[in-house]
């Protein structure tokens, strides 16, 4: 690729999936209107969901999924050694995602295995970890799944050696900008006041309360939100469950009860 006659070097990027639904990777490939532009910016050498090459020569590694087995820890550590920049992509990679719910049953996992997998042999008993609990993470892309636009923006910033600034304000800001009536007025629970914006308040706009997939906004006021939730008739158990789903509020769940 050339710009004003000068060769531009495209960064070599690789995508790796761990314990995940692969929805983050899918969000990259399924928005075709910007796919060609995205591919012109980078040289994709490894992306199991999209190409058959398995190149090992990469500079930027995107990690999708939580880390839930010993072999995944070793595989992730090898990737970290090769990558100049390692990006945790999606709620599973950033916080453990829905997978980290398993940790709540770690003292009594056997009935969960039977309930979910029946007779199929599942051997692991290890805790589910976010990527940064295993290796150093240079950047995080939030959401379940993250928006393709945000992934592309982050890649663009890495290629230009610039810092990507995430919104620090909460989802409520985007929700009000969309002209929505607050869901609490309809008796629905919503984590918008404490969750990092950037999704366009997509759930709240669809009349579905925010589940906090992007994790905490800067300085989230959980205590105030808890008071509102209790006043609106939600139980502490309901508040705890809502905060627990993606793992982004794991250090705050206990404060809610
Ligand atoms: S963050 Fe969401 S979309 Fe991405 S792998 Fe996890 S569950 Fe799937
Ligand atoms: S619906 Fe949710 S995101 Fe929207 S203003 Fe109310 S609390 Fe905030
Ligand atoms: S509204 Fe909440 S749950 Fe929905 S995408 Fe945004 S951060 Fe995630």
Tens of pLDDT, residue by residue over 60-73, are: 999 999 999 999 99
pLDDT value of residue 176: 97
Q: Is residue 154 domain-shared with residue 178, that is, in the same domain?
A: no
Q: What is the pLDDT of residues 180-220, one digit of tens each?
A: 999 999 999 999 999 999 999 999 999 999 999 999 999 99
Residues 13 and 83 placed together within one structural domain of the fold: yes
CATH of the domain at 119: 3.40.50.700
pLDDT at residue 29 above 90?
Answer: no
Do both 130 and 204 map to the same domain? no
What is the whole-number distance in angstroms between the Cα of residue 8 and the centre of ligand 1? 33
Q: Which residues line ligand 1 (CB under 6 A)?
A: 20-21, 23-24, 64-65, 90-92, 97-98, 144-145
In terms of domains, do 69 and 129 share one? Answer: yes
Query: What pLDDT does residue 250 have?
Result: 87
Regarding whether 128 and 85 lie in a shared domain, the answer is yes
Residues within 6 Å of ligand 2 by CB? 171-172, 175-176, 180, 182-184, 190, 192-193, 201, 204, 210
**Are the CB atoms for 60 and 87 separated by under 8 Å?**
yes
**Which residue ranges have their beta carbon within 6 Å of ligand 3?**
143, 171, 195, 199, 201-204, 210-214
Answer with the one of 104, 127, 159 that is the final residue of a domain.
159
Residue 164 lies inside a defined structural domain of this protein = no
Residues 94 and 190 both lie in one domain? no
pLDDT given for residue 209 in this prediction: 97
| Phi, psi values for residue 127, rounded to 5° | -70, 150
Q: How does DSSP assign 27-55, residue by residue?
A: HHHT-GGGHHHHHHH-EEEEETTT-S-B-
Atom index in ligand 2 nearest the CA of residue 174 equals 3
User: Do 7 and 63 lie in a common domain?
Assistant: yes
Q: Which domain holds residue 125?
A: 2-159
Which are the contacts of 6, defined by CB distance < 8 A and separation ≥ 6?
none
SS3 string of 145-184? CCCHHHHHHHHHHHHCCCCCCCCCCEHHHHHHHCCCCCHH
């Amino acid at each position: 690729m050339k710009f004003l006659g000068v060769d531009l070097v495209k960064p070599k990027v690789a995508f790796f999936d761990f314990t995940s639904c692969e929805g983050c990777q899918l969000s990259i490939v399924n928005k075709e209107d910007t796919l060609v532009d995205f591919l012109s910016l980078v040289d994709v050498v490894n992306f199991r969901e999209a190409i058959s090459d398995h190149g090992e020569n990469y500079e930027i590694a995107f990690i999708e999924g939580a880390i839930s087995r010993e072999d995944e820890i070793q595989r992730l550590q090898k990737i970290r050694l090769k990558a100049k920049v390692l990006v945790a992509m999606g709620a599973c990679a950033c916080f453990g995602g829905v997978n980290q719910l398993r940790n709540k049953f770690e003292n009594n996992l056997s009935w969960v295995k039977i309930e979910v997998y029946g007779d199929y042999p599942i051997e692991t008993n290890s805790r589910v970890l976010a990527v940064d609990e295993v290796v150093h993470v240079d950047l995080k892309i939030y959401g379940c799944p993250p928006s393709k636009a945000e992934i592309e923006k982050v890649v663009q910033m890495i290629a230009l050696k610039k810092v990507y600034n995430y919104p620090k304000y909460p989802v409520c800001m985007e929700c009000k900008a969309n002209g929505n009536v607050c869901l609490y007025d309809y008796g629905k629970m919503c984590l918008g006041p404490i969750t990092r914006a950037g999704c366009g308040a997509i759930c709240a706009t669809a009349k579905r309360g925010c589940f906090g997939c992007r994790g905490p906004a800067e300085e989230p006021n959980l205590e105030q939100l808890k008071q509102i939730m209790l006043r609106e008739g939600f139980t502490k158990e309901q508040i705890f469950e809502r905060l627990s789903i993606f793992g982004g509020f794991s250090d705050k769940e206990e404060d809610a009860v």
